[in-house]
Amino acid sequence: MAVNAHIKTRIIAISLSFFISLLLMAAKFYGYKITGSAAILSDALESIINVIASAFAFGSIMVASRPPDKDHPYGHGKIEYFSAGFEGALIMLAAIGIFMSGWPRIFHPGQLPNLDTGMLIILGTALMNLFLGTILIKCGKKTGSLALTADGKHILTDVYSTAAVLVGLLLVRFTGKLWMDGAAACLIGVNILYAGGVLVVQAFSGLMNTADPRLLEEISRLISFHRRPCWIDIHQLRAWTSGNLVHMDFHLILPRDFSLEAAHREAKDMETILMDHYQGSASILIHMDPCIHNDCPICSSHTCHDRSDKFQTRIPWTVETMTMTGWEKLPDLIHET
């Protein structure tokens, strides 16, 4: 999928999320109006957060889709992490409101008229949110959008919350114990408080450029698959994502007798392989290092006239070996292989 197609998919998905969340919020508040249930109210309060978060995510996706410019040479994708963190904080705020509405109902329960109708309404909203959340997470992973993925996960927590509401109301319906309505609301609050905390942690990790093991593994496998004999080794691999862009940099060791033109050609070939894999949505910086005598045991070049030691083994390119910051582990790696 091309970059423009990614952006279009994101915008359509988040617009769909906003309008559906608006309709479902209205349906849940209607369910609360006709039943007076604290559990349904807790579900409706979370829906307010869904609407606000979807609107904020829409804005962040629009900003993140802008190309790099003079003031933002690395693009605008970081705003998606801020959006996810904002959404997580809103979820945690909603949990406080749910506790405040549910806790008194445990000790002072009220009657619940039209309970069957209310349960049917929230069942319908749960099914719609299940569909919406699954679509958003799928689109988020496909287009590399944390904002979409976060919105989808938030909506799925709404599904779990609604399921808990249904269970609580069914218990009320068949046991007649009205205090279970408030208890269900408080349990929902605990669930979404945890979900909000997870989103905040993920957003903080993204803003701090925390290492992504899956991304590093993907890059390592790709480079290793296309490895050439003259690519002696790679170290100090670093990679992170920002919106739809993948940023990476690493050191590539090449034979010292290569001309500047030959070394540049090898680096460009490697850059093309990576750029094609990420469909042009990548920023790649390759630092070229000339080999030294310590590299001879891992260099398979038979045309080198400056070799000081015989070739012993070729170091496997894995995340561990490619992210090393130096040659401290080289003797151990040679011994292990």
Provide the sign of the torsion angle of the four alpha carbons 219, 222, 226, 232, taken in this order: positive
pLDDT at 1: 46
**pLDDT > 50? residue 253:** yes
- Average pLDDT (32-46) is 86
Question: Which pLDDT value is given to residue 123?
Answer: 95
Residue 210 has pLDDT above 70, yes or no: no
At 173-186, the pLDDT tens digits run: 888 888 888 888 78
Strand arrangement of the beta sheet that strand 233-242 belongs to: 233-242, 245-254, 282-290
Among 328, 162, 152, 303, smallest CA distance to 236 is for 328
| pLDDT, mean of residues 39-60 | 79
Calculate ∠ Cα 259-265-268, nearest 5°.
145
What pLDDT was estimated at residue 214? 87
> In whole numbers, what is the pLDDT of the chain averaged over residues?
83
Neighbours of 37 (CB within 10 A): 30
Domain ranges of the chain: 3-207, 213-336
- In residues, how long is the chain? 337
Mean pLDDT of the 46-53 span: 78
CATH topology of domain 3-207: Alpha-lytic protease prodomain-like (1.20.1510)
pTM of the model: 0.58
Closest CA to 313 of 291, 336, 292: 336
Asked if 158 and 49 count as a contact pair (C-beta separation under 8 A), the reply is no
Mean pLDDT over 308-322 rounds to: 86
Inform me whether the pLDDT recorded for 291 exceeds 60: yes
What is the helix (H) or strand (E) element at residue 249, kind and residue range? Answer: strand 245-254
CA distance 159 to 122: 10
Is the predicted pLDDT of residue 7 greater than 90, yes or no?
no
> Which pLDDT score is estimated for 279?
82
**Amino acid letter for position 250:** F
**pLDDT tens-digit readout, 59-114:** 777 777 777 777 776 666 677 777 778 777 877 887 887 788 778 878 878 788 89
Is 216 exposed, middle or buried, given 0-12, 13-18 or 19+ CB atoms closer than 10 A?
Answer: buried
Give the model's pLDDT for residue 53: 74
Element (H, E) at 119: helix 115-143
Q: State which CATH number among 3.40.50.620, 3.30.70.1350, 3.20.20.100, 3.40.190.10 fits the domain covering 213-336.
A: 3.30.70.1350
Displacement of CA 203 from its chain's centroid (Å): 8
Provide the pLDDT confidence category of residue 266 given band limits of 50, 70 and 90: very high
Contacts from 225-228 at CB under 8 Å and sequence distance 24+?
A: 226/270, 226/273, 227/317, 228/266
- The 8-class DSSP code of residue 67 comes to P
User: For residue 46, how far is the Cα from the chain centroid?
Assistant: 22
